[in-house]
Amino acid sequence: QNAAECNRIGLPIGAYWLCHAINPETARQEADGCINAVSSYCLEYPVCYNIEQATINYAAQHGVTVTPALAAQFVQSFCSRVEELGYYAMFYCDRNFLHTYFPSDLSKRYALWYAYYGGQFDNTHCSIWQYTNQGHVPGIRTNVDLDLGFTDLPAIIRDAELNHLDGS
């Protein structure tokens, strides 16, 4: 409903999917499910894979210990499948998760949406910085996440003819 209304009024949107993978193949299947869920909408922003502590907890409940190598495989499997399907892929994680689980070059291969609420930006290579989860927006009664974009993602997506913005 929210996506349809945003499309109707011309508000640019993207999508994100919370990682509940237990192996690279389930991450790939999640990409298929995500794209199936969003393919009827106009996405001017990326399709983002949200990988965080909830991912680790979910995997542990299924007998899987997520190592740094496995976490990187989850992101690579999801994002590469999203790209195969013609969409712009990115991943989301917080500072601790980034430094604990990912090699430093992963955010150079895939765009990073980075959550760090430490005050000043720490110069992490990212496209979007989520700087608080306690923001205020008129018309919303609860705290919201607030972000700063460092990259013109809609222009990149449009110029690369991704996200099926051309109607294909």
| Residues sharing a CB contact under 8 Å with residue 7, sequence separation 6 or more, in sequence order | 13, 41, 42
| Residues sharing a CB contact under 8 Å with residue 109, sequence separation 6 or more, in sequence order | 76
Confidence (pTM):
0.94
How far apart are alpha carbons 123 and 120 in whole angstroms?
9
- Tokens at 10, concatenated: 């011309």
How far apart are alpha carbons 64 and 17 in whole angstroms?
20
CA distances from 39 to 24, 32, 59 (A): 22, 10, 27
Question: Do 121 and 108 touch, CB atoms closer than 8 A?
Answer: no
Per-residue pLDDT of the chain (168 residues; tens, 9 = 90+): 999 999 999 999 999 999 999 999 999 999 999 999 999 999 999 999 999 999 999 999 999 999 999 999 999 999 999 999 999 999 999 999 999 999 888 999 999 999 999 889 999 999 999 999 999 999 999 999 999 999 999 999 999 999 998 766
